[in-house]
Amino acid sequence: MMADSTNKEMTHAAADALVDEQKGKAGGLVEDNKTPEKSQKMTPRVFLNKVLSGTALGVIIGLIPNAVLSGILKYFGTNTFAVTLTQIAVIFQLATPLIIGGLIALQFEFNPMQMMVTAGASFVGSGVVKFNPAMKAYVGAGTGDLINTMITASIAVLVLMWVKDKFGSTAVVAMPILVGCGVAYIGVLLLPFIAAFTAAIGDVINSFTTLQPIFMAILICCSFATIIISPISTVAIGLAIQLNGVSAGAAAMGVAATALALVVYSWTVNKSGVTLAIALGAMKLMMPNLFKYPIILVPCLFTAIISAIPVALLSISGTPQSSGFGIVGLVGPLASMEAGLAIPLVVLCWIVIPVAAALLSKLLFEKMLKLFDSNVVFKFQG
């Protein structure tokens, strides 16, 4: 009996020791996971990376539904379900700045109230909804100004980091009014200046239309290939300067070239969801990579240059509406078909040539010249 009792006690003790050991290990894992985040010094580089990561993911969430559904549902004509779902996707897209603001705040581990205050300020500062005096109504369009969205969100984050818990029990009233509306007001004041900056870029691109066709196509194609992975909207640029004909085709080809180049490089580096999102139009997912590793522009621009040549030679055309979309929703290819480009040439120019150019760039710049390691520079930073 005593032996049995002793054995049982030893068994229980061993079990308790094992449980304690496992808890200690788990605790150590939790501690290890938390320590880097808490001890990470908030430098300008870290701050910018957090803003870019939140923006990249927000752009995907906000834009993908409309980018995918609009291209599919337009073939259903006036079907009530298709029309309603298309309208829902457009309205959902209007919330892009709101989503971006919330995700940026999440990067800084804000509480729910701080997140929503940042999101609200970003939404207003983006200019996605404006008051129309003639209609005496608030009108929403597009996604707003992405650069100003990021700036407004950044200001809100800085203010909230400074304020912390100074509002005390009045936070539920004071924070939305003083921080939310206050920062939103700053964003609204900044919006015309940021819009002027975007317009200036558009004017530079517009000046390329006076050049010889091949040079024009290459410069416009490269410009839009760069802009699509920056905080600037290619759609806004295309509409602002009213690109048309071959210049619009070159712009759309630039977007398509970067999209396909990123797909080629992301295919073996990132998870399939990231690559699929890029293929569906979320090229801005690579914004953090662009800021951290500008070398990613080399293969993108190489692909754009090669892809621009048939645009000039075959007079591949587009419209102001198609110039900023590329292959998203097949907007660019369909616009060129409507302008008279035969289907075999559509496939050749919009898919085969850019993909071949991207694969060639991989062989040339990564394998032969060893300018970069795609496993590092094209690894999703979000």
Q: What is the tally of structural domains in the chain?
A: 2
Q: Last residue of a domain, which of 201, 220, 249?
A: 201
CB atoms within 10 A of CB 95: 18
Domain that holds residue 175: 41-201
- 137 and 261 inside one domain: no
- 122 and 83 inside one domain: yes
Residue-by-residue pLDDT tens, the chain, 382 positions: 434 444 444 444 444 444 444 444 444 433 343 433 444 678 888 898 889 888 888 887 887 788 778 767 878 888 899 999 999 999 998 999 999 999 999 999 999 999 999 999 999 999 999 998 988 899 988 788 888 999 999 999 999 999 888 888 888 899 999 999 999 999 999 999 998 888 888 888 888 888 888 999 999 999 999 999 988 888 778 877 778 889 999 999 999 999 999 999 999 899 988 898 888 888 888 988 999 999 999 999 999 999 999 999 999 998 887 888 888 878 889 889 988 999 999 999 999 999 999 999 999 999 999 999 999 999 987 6
- 77 and 218 inside one domain: no
DSSP string, 241-296: TT--HHHHHHHHHHHHHHHHHHHHHHTTTS-HHHHHHHHTT-GGGGHHHHHH-GGG
254, 343 in Cβ contact below 8 A? no
For residue 382, the model assigns a pLDDT of: 66
User: Residue 365 and residue 373: Cα distance in Å, rounded?
Assistant: 9
The reply to whether 32 falls in a domain is no
User: Residue 339 and residue 186: Cα distance in Å, rounded?
Assistant: 44
The reply to whether 121 falls in a domain is yes
- 87 and 158 inside one domain: yes
Contacts of 283 (CB under 8 A, 6+ apart): 228, 229, 255, 258, 259, 262
152, 122 in Cβ contact below 8 A? yes
The reply to whether 289 falls in a domain is yes
382, 53 in Cβ contact below 8 A? yes
User: Residue 261 and residue 246: Cα distance in Å, rounded?
Assistant: 22
The reply to whether 9 falls in a domain is no
- 182 and 274 inside one domain: no
- 228 and 375 inside one domain: yes
- 326 and 281 inside one domain: yes
Q: Last residue of a domain, which of 172, 201, 230?
A: 201
Tokens of 272: 């399939």
Tokens of 269: 């580096």
- 284 and 352 inside one domain: yes
Q: Last residue of a domain, which of 173, 201, 229?
A: 201
- 194 and 60 inside one domain: yes
